[in-house]
């Protein structure tokens, strides 16, 4: 399995957005977090992010097939870099793809000063980030009675 990142451009907005919706739909159905779930976002929000100078979107490609994407926010200063969001299409999940994509982002943007958040109730997500060297910050945010965000840093 060959994983590589390809930098996305504004012309990729629609494709990125469609992949994001497909990837997050299960979680939206499960947690009904319509205000915060990426599957609820309009394509215009993707366009705004792609136009931010500190935002880097990468397609995650497995054997030259686009299977997901990762957004890195990197101000190129002392602020933490942030991953938000990271997603892999449902049919490609649980293959170690996200882990490899995160490692590739660290090669590009540096290994230290990272942050992210995830759903506390999604144990596999928490396990992935902890395996990648992230530590819980102690901060959590209740979104609704089903979903709590937990914050990590590295």
pLDDT in tens, 30-43: 999 999 999 999 99
pLDDT band, residue 1 (cuts 50/70/90): confident
Is the confidence at residue 18, as pLDDT, over 90? yes
pLDDT in tens, 86-138: 999 999 999 999 999 999 999 999 999 999 999 999 999 999 999 999 999 99
The alpha carbons of the chain give a radius of gyration, in whole angstroms, of: 15
Distance CA 56, CA 63 (A): 21
Supply the pLDDT for residue 4: 98
Q: pLDDT at position 106, please? A: 97
At residue 83, the 3 state secondary structure works out as strand
* Average pLDDT rounded to a whole number, residues 16-38: 97
Strands 81-88 vs 65-73: parallel, antiparallel or unpaired: antiparallel
Instruction: Give whole-number Cα distances, 73 to 26, 40, 47, 50, 149, in Å.
Output: 25, 21, 15, 11, 19
Give the rounded distance of the alpha carbon of 80 from its chain centre: 15
What is the CB neighbour count within 10 angstroms for residue 147?
A: 19
pLDDT at 7: 98
3-state secondary structure of 117: strand
pLDDT in tens, 42-75: 999 999 999 999 999 999 999 999 999 999 999 9
Q: Please compute, for residue 97, the number of CA atoms within 13 A of its CA located in the half-sphere on the CB side.
A: 26
Is 117:132 a contact under the CB 8 Å cutoff? no
């Amino acid at each position: 399995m060959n994983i590589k990142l390809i930098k996305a451009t504004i012309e990729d907005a629609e494709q990125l957005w469609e992949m994001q919706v497909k990837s997050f739909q299960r979680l939206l159905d499960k947690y009904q977090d319509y205000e915060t779930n990426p599957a609820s976002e309009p394509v215009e929000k993707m366009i705004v992010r792609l136009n931010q100078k500190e935002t880097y979107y990468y397609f995650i490609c497995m054997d030259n097939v686009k299977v997901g994407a990762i957004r890195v926010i990197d101000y190129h200063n002392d602020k933490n870099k942030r991953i938000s969001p990271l997603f892999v299409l449902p049919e490609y999940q649980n293959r170690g793809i996200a882990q490899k994509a995160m490692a590739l982002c660290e090669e590009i943007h540096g290994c230290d000063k990272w942050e992210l958040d995830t759903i506390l109730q999604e144990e596999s997500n928490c396990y992935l980030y902890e395996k990648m060297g992230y530590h819980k910050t102690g901060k959590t945010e209740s979104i609704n009675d089903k979903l709590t965000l937990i914050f990590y840093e590295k």
